[in-house]
């Protein structure tokens, strides 16, 4: 596994419940824990490779860019497309693997990355 297990991303959202459901149901993240930060409960979601995404409630927030690691970019691309999500790009191959971009329901630009180790493949 190439990913650093301590990698942490923070996403500011107006409400934490619906985004958490979205990331769990559509992109396969798992609920790890709720952390109390500044008096607010913040869900911490875990990606398959150990990376974490923490959702922090914030009333005034601008759209952000986040990276979600996936085990199967084409599968997720098809699922999102079928559900009518706005895909910014078709899946493209790069040095790190296969990626595609889409806007989540709250306007955040999400980069889906399937890391591929080309050294031994």
Q: DSSP of 47-84, one letter per residue?
A: -TTS-EEEEEE-SS----EEEEE-S-HHHHHHHHHHTT
Question: Binding segment for another protein among 19-27, 37-45, 62-70, 73-81 (CB under 8 A)?
Answer: 73-81
Of residues 11, 115, 28, the one with CA closest to residue 65: 11
- Residue 100 within binding range of another protein, rule CB under 8 A: no
- Residue 82 within binding range of another protein, rule CB under 8 A: yes
- 31 is written with which tokens? 């609920």
Which residue from 14, 40, 75, 96 is in contact with another protein, where contact means CB under 8 A? 75
- Residue 95 within binding range of another protein, rule CB under 8 A: no
What is the signed CA dihedral for 78, 6, 61, 90, rounded to 10 degrees?
-20
- Residue 72 within binding range of another protein, rule CB under 8 A: yes
- Residue 96 within binding range of another protein, rule CB under 8 A: no
Output 12 or 102, the one with its CB closest to another protein: 102
Distance CA 99, CA 101 (A): 7
> Three-state DSSP class for 17?
helix
Output 39 or 84, the one with its CB closest to another protein: 84
Contact residues for another protein, defined by CB under 8 A: 72, 74-75, 77-78, 81-82, 91, 93, 98, 114, 116, 118, 121
């Amino acid at each position: 596994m190439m990913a650093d297990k301590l990698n942490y991303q923070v996403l500011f959202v107006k409400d934490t419940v619906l985004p958490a459901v979205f990331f769990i149901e559509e992109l396969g993240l798992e609920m790890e824990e709720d952390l109390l930060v500044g008096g607010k409960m913040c869900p911490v979601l875990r990606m398959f490779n150990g990376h974490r995404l923490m959702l922090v409630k914030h009333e005034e927030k601008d759209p952000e860019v986040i990276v979600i690691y996936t085990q199967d970019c084409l599968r997720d691309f098809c699922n999102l497309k079928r559900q009518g999500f706005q895909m910014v790009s078709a899946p493209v191959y790069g040095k790190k693997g296969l990626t595609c971009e889409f806007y989540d329901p709250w306007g955040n630009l999400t980069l889906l990355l399937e890391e591929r180790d080309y050294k031994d493949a």
